Amino acid sequence: MNPEVLYVMDPGHGCHLQDRGRLGLKRFGVPSGGPMDPHAAEWANQLLGNPTDAPILELALQGAKLAALQAVWVAVTGADATANLPLWRVLRLDADDVMTFSKNVSGVWTYVAVEGGFVDTPVLGSVSTSPRIRLGRSFNRGSMLRRNSQHSFSMPQGVAGRMAPIAEQRNYAQPPSIRIWPGPQWDRFSATAKEAFLHHGWTLSPRSDRTGYRLEGKPIAPMLGQLISEPVMVGSIQIPPDGLPIVTLNDGPTVGGYPKIGLVDPADLPWLTQARPGQRLRFHLA
């Protein structure tokens, strides 16, 4: 029996489960889904001794409020949403304790892990939720979340606490310059266009979500020639006719006809996904 451990008092701007996603289905047009910031998600699970891909709760921006239904070990990582408990460490909640995430300060995505990992009914082999295409389940006020009772956590004898290394606790308000690799159409863009993309700063548009992040700035010149639609990877930087880049993300299309000037290095993609609307971003070749 997998017990109910958390009660959703308020889902805030988004409250969904994510695991490693739906692998191997892109050829059928099904996006992979999965956590927008796998670095933070994996650390939350690792702190509790869960498998790194155990289902985890992904919260967007702010406003979420979760109540413990019984004593349970948790770990919270990711964005600073003014939580009423410390991040990047293991904590034990008692029944009726409430976690609040009242005001977003930096980053976008916060992750809550419980001992054993969450459980839910999988869809196409995964519990990951892709809200825009209504794949998976969204949690609302009154929803109950269950955990896997086959695994539990206890603090080792003589150990008072457990936290992620300071170097892994990222400050999303100060992202580094993001590494990219040349995309399939890199050589078909003019030298001026490539120079402009790499050396002009970009601002993250409010018209961004799990499907893709739009960048605002000085438009770059379009690619030379035409392009037939082709597969699109997560992290692909597409240049539509208006010259303003779009970075395809977890719930984005699996094929597209826009030229791809670059591909965000997977190790740096979490820095991009944790950028808030209005935040400045820069890119450089890996």
- pTM value? 0.93
Q: Which helix (H) or strand (E) holds 10?
A: strand 4-11
Same domain? For 77 and 199 the reply is no
Same domain? For 38 and 146 the reply is yes
pLDDT of residue 225: 66
- Given 116, 137, 168, which residue is the final one in a domain? 168
* CATH number for 261: 2.40.100.10
Same domain? For 162 and 190 the reply is no
Which percentage of the chain shows pLDDT scores above 70? 99
Q: Which of 59-73, 127-141, 167-181, 264-278 is predicted with the least confidence, judged by mean pLDDT?
A: 127-141
- Given 133, 149, 168, which residue is the final one in a domain? 168
Q: Which domain holds residue 191?
A: 178-285
Same domain? For 216 and 273 the reply is yes
Q: How confident is the model at residue 136 (pLDDT cuts 50, 70, 90)?
A: confident
Same domain? For 201 and 148 the reply is no
Burial class (CB in 10 A: 0-12, 13-18, 19+), 222: middle
The answer to whether residue 43 scores a pLDDT higher than 90 is: yes
Q: Give the alpha-carbon dihedral of 37, 49, 149, 152, to 10 degrees.
A: -140
Same domain? For 248 and 278 the reply is yes
The answer to whether residue 284 scores a pLDDT higher than 80 is: yes
Residue 47 lies in a domain: yes
The whole-number average pLDDT for the span 157-186 is: 91
Residue 173 lies in a domain: no
Same domain? For 151 and 194 the reply is no
Same domain? For 145 and 164 the reply is yes
pLDDT of residue 118: 96
| Count of structural domains, the chain | 2
DSSP state of 39: H
Same domain? For 146 and 192 the reply is no
The whole-number average pLDDT for the span 254-281 is: 94
